[in-house]
Amino acid sequence: MQFPFWPRGENVQLHGSYDDSFIPLIQAFRQIQPQAQHNSRQSGGSALAVYFQGKKVVDVWTGAMKQDTPWQEDSMALSFSTGKAALAMLVHRLADQGLLDYDHNIAHYWPEFGKNGKDRITIRHVLAHQSGLFDIRQNIQSAVQMLDWHDMLKVYENATPRFEPGTKVAYQALSFGWLLGGVVEKVTGQSVCEVFQKELVTPLGLDGAYFGVPASELERVARPIILNKPQQAEDNQKTRPATQKKLLPNGRRPLTLQEKMIKLTGLDPYEAEDALMPKGISRFSFFNDRVLQACIPAANGVFTARSLAKMYAMLVNEGEIDGQQYLSPERVRLLSQIQNTQRDRIMSIPMNWRLGYHRILSLGKRVPEGFGHIGYNGSGAWCDPSRGLSFAYVHNFAGSSITGDPRLWWLTQTALQNADLSLTGKKG
């Protein structure tokens, strides 16, 4: 079915196409779109793409990609950690070509990396978030340093793991990109951004996927939309006196009451801060053109929803898409095997890490064979081979959470129910 708008869509105008069997998912997608508010502009837009049983069944978009500009068919969105899965997919492609082995030490390919107790860290350790190299805050002086690719490689050549590799699980929220990207460059002799285009984007025929957006493509990237604020609120913000937090003798800020409660469960909140918050991150915008054009593969990948969904559709189909065998069936089986079930020290829950992917987070539906990756802004993409289903959702709404947000959870749950309804006649 083709449509210019949702028939009962009130202020929500949808574009694209969908299969009638996925109307429940379309309804949910329409309902989660923020409404335009009185005397203000729209608060953003989003795109959703789904493959089911070998067919693309949903490809829709709505809202605004930037102030006064509707979301376009080819609009791309900054997807933060959702892009980690795409980097992992590139690593699996190179492994299939015999250029690297998961169980070889990284220092085998990147000799400078083997210092300070890192000589036993393998590619598998990084893909499964068991390297101990999750820290960025204590390793660099400022978030701006992340813009210098070669400097960041040197940073992790000189870094020291926080624990013995393979003994614990700690999400490498930002370091993941340099750790794997450095290996990619060593085994190919090319920049990771170039190899990503050559070995993943072009062969899969993706219509929008970048680490390091070319200047010519920046106009396609959706940007956050700041709603008009009452002048009084702005004046209050300007006149509010700055407060200086007292630091502890070790130079750390005091823990909040909630963080103290978390620490009682066996996790260290400072570790999450070290993994997620380099110094100066509050003044660092990932939507800045300079940042979008940099290569920060763990965090600044931009994608269309259909590109992400197609990557996962290939995995669902044992590595084949559009009649092309992109990954071997054996490789797909290897990458989807659970590597650990321990509680993640950064994410605070068991993520059941595969090789670059985690379990699917939903509102209750069980997906034991499913895997994917979500992003800090609530974007996400995943697949469930048992249902023949792949899913991707991107947007430019305000908000952040390292475990996704209710919009993503609701869409995920509805997509799974919709697939079950088609397969069994019951949504469960």
Question: Which residues are part of the catalytic machinery?
Answer: 81
Alpha carbon of residue 175 to chain centroid: 14
Give, in order, the Cα–Cα distances in Å from 125 to each of 106, 118, 122, 172.
Answer: 10, 11, 5, 11
Alpha carbons 419 and 144: distance in angstroms, whole number:
44
- Give the helix/strand (H/E) hosting 257: helix 257-264
CA angle 339, 344, 349 (to 5 degrees): 105
Alpha carbon of residue 397 to chain centroid: 15
Give, in order, the Cα–Cα distances in Å from 419 to each of 143, 162, 305, 320, 375.
Answer: 42, 42, 19, 21, 23
Alpha carbons 109 and 69: distance in angstroms, whole number:
46
Alpha carbons 419 and 138: distance in angstroms, whole number:
45
Question: 247 in helix, strand or coil?
Answer: coil
Q: How many CA atoms lie within 13 A of 421 on its CB side?
A: 13
Give, in order, the Cα–Cα distances in Å from 351 to each of 95, 338, 354.
Answer: 24, 10, 9
Alpha carbons 305 and 57: distance in angstroms, whole number:
13
CA angle 101, 172, 76 (to 5 degrees): 90
135 secondary structure, DSSP code: -
In 3D space, the residue among 393, 233, 257 whose CA is nearest the CA of residue 312 turns out to be 393
Question: 124 in helix, strand or coil?
Answer: helix
Sign, CA dihedral 210-215-220-224, equals positive
Residue 251: which residues within 8 A CB-CB, separation 6 or more? none
Q: Which residue has the tokens 């407060």?
A: 243
Phi first, then psi, for residue 381 (nearest 5°) are -150, 145
Alpha carbons 210 and 163: distance in angstroms, whole number:
33
Q: Which two tokens stand for residue 267?
A: 């996790």
